[in-house]
Amino acid sequence: MTPTPLEPWIAAKTGCSPLTRGGLACWQLHRLRETVRRVREHSPFYRGRLKDCGVPIGGLPDIARLPFTTADDLRAGAQRFLCVSQSEIQRVVTLPTSGTTGAPKRLYFTAADLESTLEFFAAGMSAFTGPGDRVLILLPGEAPDSAGNLLARALARIGAAGIIHGPVRDASQTLSFMKEKAVTGVVGMPVQVLGLARSSSGRAIAVNSAVLTSDYVPNSLCRAVEEAWGCRAYHHYGMTETGLGGGVDCAARQGYHLREADLYIEIVDPETGAPVPDGRTGEIVFTTLIRTGMPLIRYRTGDMARMLPEPCPCGTILRCMEHVRGRIGRGVALANGSRLGLPDLDEALFAVDGLLNYRAEAVCGPAVCRLRLHASAVPGSRAEQSAALREALHNALPLQAAFLDGSLVLEPVSYCAPQQLDTGLDKRILASISAAAG
């Protein structure tokens, strides 16, 4: 098995040839010191945040002495993070907050920052994409330097064609478009890719690879895409804050290989903030190492994962981070002391053949939580589908005790068209409603 193509890219970028862990660590330490120096000098936010942090950074572990940066810090005034003049900013991304109130987050990128993302996309995609491939991009791509636009330009660098489609509005129309364009690969949000895969029966759609991105990816959903299309599905991890790209599977698909030339990633205890050893699950925290416009120091992502202690079968010296397990603090407390979370529901429900998406509501009283499911599915018997969903939930190990002791009750499943449900898992939040409001 060939090592991830991120390795030679990072070797060239860092000047470490051959690339070793020691050489990469020295380069990261140099870039970390330079980034801290730069933000202290040019960023009004970090000038204040780091003014009492006079301890020199003698080694990479010393980064734990620096304070965290949070999403609330960005909402409070992203311009105060800037280390360059506004005239040097090429793209501004505005991320609306959850709910109806609250300031949005804004991220600023220079041309150099966007070039780093292009390089990462090209290197990462080359693990499973090559010259002549035609990749359907189910991400927004009309605006210059948007995620879809950057991905299409990156694919062109490796001789592949990026076909920008945008989010799926009508699965039947998108499937016809895929056939017309002779698509060989797909990149998109997990639920949207699943919807296409499970709706493509009898349409002679031949897809070699699917990259699931922009959201948490349940393992059951990944398997369902592979079974429907007979392809290999890969995970990509990233967010706007990481510069859109953070890590991506290699051919071994054991976890993400990380953008280690551009980002220094830690896993910390979400309660104490202390670093945890490899193999233990915690919160992903990252620091940008080469970003020019808006560097971030120890940004808390709210995502949960762990660094895998064993080497990747692909043979790379790069670290491998387990696929993200979900978000911190999501879920509903049940009367028996356990928690009901979306990852548990996802793994059980997306394994049911024909399910396209669902929304869950937990109507909770002092002793009982009543679970309501609103589902969309491919055409078929609603009675059989409902029975299969019920059986899948009752057989899910994390939920069995709650069903048996009566602290969790599943109400009859209701159905709606796919367009009536949110298209992304992260937006499909498990809603907790008090029993009085139910």
Peptide bond into 275 cis (omega under 30): no
Neighbours of 144 (CB within 10 A): 11
Q: If you ran DSSP here, which 8-state letter would residue 183 be given? A: -
> Can you give the pLDDT at residue 427?
41
What are the backbone dihedrals phi and psi of residue 226, each rounded to the nearest 5 degrees, phi first?
Answer: -65, -40
Q: Please spell the DSSP secondary structure of 379-409, one letter per residue.
A: SS-HHHHHHHHHHHHHH-HHHHHHHHTTSEE
Q: CA distances (Å), 8 to each of 15, 52, 125, 154, in order?
A: 10, 39, 14, 17
Q: Any idea which residue has 């139910």 for tokens?
A: 438
Q: Nearest-CA neighbor of 10 among 110, 122, 111, 146?
A: 122
Query: What are the Cα distances from residue 284, in Å, to 10, 116, 220, 242?
Result: 21, 21, 23, 11
Specify the pLDDT at position 203. 77
State the residue for tokens 């698509």: 183
CA dist., res. 22 & res. 27, Å (int): 9
Phi/psi class of residue 15: alpha, beta or left (left: φ > 0; alpha: ψ in -120 to 50)?
left
Three-state SS at 202: coil
Helix (H) / strand (E) containing 260:
none
Strand 209-212 versus strand 232-237 pairing type = parallel
Distance of CA 305 to the CA centre of its chain: 11
Q: Rounded to whole angstroms, how far apart are CA atoms 360 and 413?
A: 10
Secondary element (H or E) of residue 237: strand 232-237
CA dist 373 and 348 (Å) reads: 13
d(CA 267, CA 302): 11
Contact (Cβ atoms closer than 8 angstroms) between residue 422 and residue 428: yes
Low-confidence ranges of the chain (pLDDT < 70): 55, 97-102, 202, 418-438
Q: What is the pLDDT of residue 426?
A: 39
pTM of the prediction? 0.92
Contact 249, 220 (CB under 8 A): no
Q: Tell me the domain boundaries of the chain.
A: 332-437
pLDDT number for residue 436: 41
Question: Looking at domain 332-437, which of 3.30.300.30, 3.30.360.10, 3.40.50.300, 3.20.20.110 is its CATH number?
Answer: 3.30.300.30
Alpha-carbon distance of 206 to 303, in angstroms, equals 33
